[in-house]
Amino acid sequence: MSTNKQTALKPLFGKENYMLMVVGGVVVLLGIFLLTGGKNQDPNVFDKNVVYSTTRITVAPILILLGLTIEIFAIFKKNKTTN
């Protein structure tokens, strides 16, 4: 005789995981926004200080990588479940 037991499915991620995923996504979007940067005053003149600014070359890629690292951490973080 087989018994039909209802097994409750546990959620894959907890609230803390989702919060970390949102934070990681915001950091990535901030990095992408900074990567786009500003525009030249005159489109016919190339201003290397605007194109090769520290924000575009250094800060934005670091923020994007940091955001992706937070996302990976959020995915692999174990839930704190109380039994």
pLDDT digits (tens, 9 = 90+) for 5-45: 667 788 888 899 999 999 999 999 999 999 987 777 888 88
Q: What is the pTM of this model?
A: 0.78
Q: Are 34 and 63 in contact (CB under 8 A)?
A: yes
The answer to whether position 70 is within a domain reads: yes
Share of the chain above pLDDT 70, in %: 89
What is the dihedral sign for C-alpha 53, 59, 61, 63? negative
The answer to whether position 38 is within a domain reads: yes
The answer to whether position 48 is within a domain reads: yes
The answer to whether position 9 is within a domain reads: no
Between 3 and 30, residue with greater pLDDT: 30
Q: Residue 53 belongs to what domain range?
A: 15-76
Quick one: pLDDT at residue 1?
54
The answer to whether position 7 is within a domain reads: no
The answer to whether position 6 is within a domain reads: no
The number of folded domains in the chain is 1
The answer to whether position 57 is within a domain reads: yes
Quick one: pLDDT at residue 39?
75
